[in-house]
Structure 1
Amino acid sequence: MSLRLSTVILPVRRWSGGGRDQWLRAEGLGFHTAYTYDHLSWRTFRDGPWFGAVPTLTAAAAVTERMRLGTLVTSPNFRHPVTLAKDLITLDDVSDGRITLGIGAGGNGFDATALGQDPWSPRERADRLAEFVPLLDRLLTEDAVTHEGTFYSADEARNIPGCVQGPRLPFAIAATGPRGLRLAARHGQAWVTTGDPKLFEEGTPEQSLAALGGQIERLGKAFAEIGRDPEPVEKILLTGFTPEAHTVLESVDRFVDFAGRHRELGFTELVIHAPVPDSVFATDEAVFERIATEALAQLDG
């Protein structure tokens, strides 16, 4: 089974102060996709620079040519399907069909209250995502959409001429629970996970592999329920949140071992964070570049 290697570029640098160069370097290193986080701010980066995902991806689309681009992940926390759809068809046009939308239910971080609302319960986040994704699907495939829902409505919302990619740009749906996995089975062209968060601090790599294997098994059952073949759907692991996260990018050999074990589970794409100095992602630049350019060849060799 082939494995793709992608990266996440955190939007923490001014475009003229190294931001542009990061996206160009990612394409030069041969990454399949370069994603960015779609947050208003994020964790320990909250009090530092943090730029918007859609303008950043638009700029990246204008300076790159081959590499796919996307979000990991967009959520309903501060997005509405109608306005997001307009941004996405524009991104897809500027990039000439290189955009993937990573989308999930979101969490209780800073995004959850930035618009002045109370944080939603896990159930409400799931309810909103369950309405958000099908409506967004329609908005990206139909010229005009009218919809009156519990959380989101549209009144003759028009998105002409639609996406460059047909019938629309791909969705990579982040999910681990039953409702989310069913949503991924019905609407996703890819599925995203970060592993089991309960194992991050005190779990073992073996426990993490078992948990991920269980997620893939449940994903397969969700596909079987609707009679859809899961084989063409990409299975993406966003690394950095499993028990061995602090060692995976220490050397090419360590990463190759990690990649091999997760490929055997059925993952088709691994995503690694581009180095951010003085942070939890402070990877050695030279090792990062060697992983990007050598790891998959070594794994296949």
Structure 2
Amino acid sequence: MRLSTVILPDRRWSEGGRERWQRAEELGFHTAYTYDHLSWRTFRDGPWFGAVPTLTAAATATSRMRLGTLVTSPNFRHPVTLAKELISLDDISGGRLTLGIGAGGSGFDASALLKGGQEPWTPRERADRFAEFVPLLDRLLTEDVVSFEGEHYAATEVRNIPGCVQRPRLPFAVAATGPRGLKLAARHGQAWVTTGDPKLFETGTPEQSLAAVGGQIERLAKACADVGRQGAGPEKILLTGFTPDPGRPLTSLDAFVDFAGAHAELGIDEIVLHWPIADSIFDADPVVFEKIATEGLAQLS
């Protein structure tokens, strides 16, 4: 199992932002991700910086740790411009970039670009766009010249030379739980991302959550079979903080070991912990967090 973290872009680079990314590398995290949102939930009225510039800065401040988004969505991204940014960031990082990508939700990102009176996309509309977005982005990152005309997106003789440092392109980690999204993960994902079952977040139990994640993994395997993908399929990533008792993995080293071990038995390959942020839903003891980062995986073996 791998252990990673997600660092929210809520701090000025000159006021501790740089140090958090460098400390993440020192602690040995496999990957440090960041959210790709315009703003997010309870952080809406506070500082919040862009994902791509933040990751670019992090790429120059670190040298070994992988970097990524968790996740990018079509809510305010276009595959043509996103591809150019990703190729640039993959180059700057020396081939250390992973793109976490999902269909997006109904939060602030979904309405920020709308004119007055426009309604945000429905779940079906988001799924329709995602189904077009991912294959087009895949092509843009692997082919030198791409032309495409779909229902939602177009690309006219778009050139992306020299392409990614990572070949044939940087890896996709596709966040999905529904049938259409799981098939996209099966076709295009080097990894798959889950946060568990959102229906269980407030009223479910840890045991119910484990069963739900296990069911998602089974459906992912079926999606792989349906599209003819052989082998183990995409690697499986769990972003913590959204399952019942969300803070439990970070309350102690033993709690983390129990949590991670139970999910490892299901087939989860990577656990992602939120970097502690005081006075927020991601509040945690920094000392315990660092102890988990340095000793947690060794306790699982």
> What is the TM-score with the length of structure 1 in the denominator?
0.98
Judge conservation of contact 1:103–1:173 (CA < 8 Å) in 2: yes
> How far apart in 2 are the matches of 1:279 and 1:191?
27
Pairs within 5 Å for 1:61-210: 61-117=59-115, 118-210=119-211
> How far apart in 2 are the matches of 1:143 and 1:97?
18
Question: How far 1:230 sits from its partner (Å)?
Answer: 4.8
Structure 1 letter corresponding to 2:149: E
> How far apart in 1 are the matches of 2:110 and 2:195?
20
Structure 1 letter corresponding to 2:264: R
Aligned residues: percent identity?
77
> How far apart in 1 are the matches of 2:151 and 2:164?
27
Aligned length: 298
Q: Over aligned residues, Cα RMSD in angstroms?
A: 0.7
Three-state SS of the structure 2 residue aligned to 1:245 is: coil
Structure 1 letter corresponding to 2:251: E
**C-alpha distance after superposition, 1:83-141 (max 9, x if no partner):** 00000000000001000000000000000011125310000000000000000000001
Structure 2 letter corresponding to 1:88: L
Unaligned runs of 5+ in 1: none
> How far apart in 1 are the matches of 2:11 and 2:148?
39
Judge conservation of contact 1:220–1:230 (CA < 8 Å) in 2: no
**C-alpha distance after superposition, 1:160-215 (max 9, x if no partner):** 00000000000000000000000000000000000000000000011001100000
Question: How far 1:229 sits from its partner (Å)?
Answer: 2.4
Unaligned runs of 5+ in 2: none
Pairs within 5 Å for 1:250-261: 250-261=251-262
Pairs within 5 Å for 1:149-298: 149-231=150-232, 233-298=234-299
> How far apart in 1 are the matches of 2:25 and 2:231?
29
> How far apart in 2 are the matches of 1:218 and 1:227?
14
Three-state SS of the structure 1 residue aligned to 2:157 is: strand
> How far apart in 1 are the matches of 2:231 and 2:185?
10
Q: Which runs of 4+ in 1 moved over 4 A?
A: none
User: Residue 13 of structure 2 aligns with which residue?
Assistant: 15
Three-state SS of the structure 2 residue aligned to 1:6 is: strand
> What is the TM-score with the length of structure 2 in the denominator?
0.98
**C-alpha distance after superposition, 1:212-266 (max 9, x if no partner):** 0000000000001122125152100000000021222010000000000000000
> How far apart in 2 are the matches of 1:32 and 1:254?
20
> How far apart in 1 are the matches of 2:195 and 2:7?
16
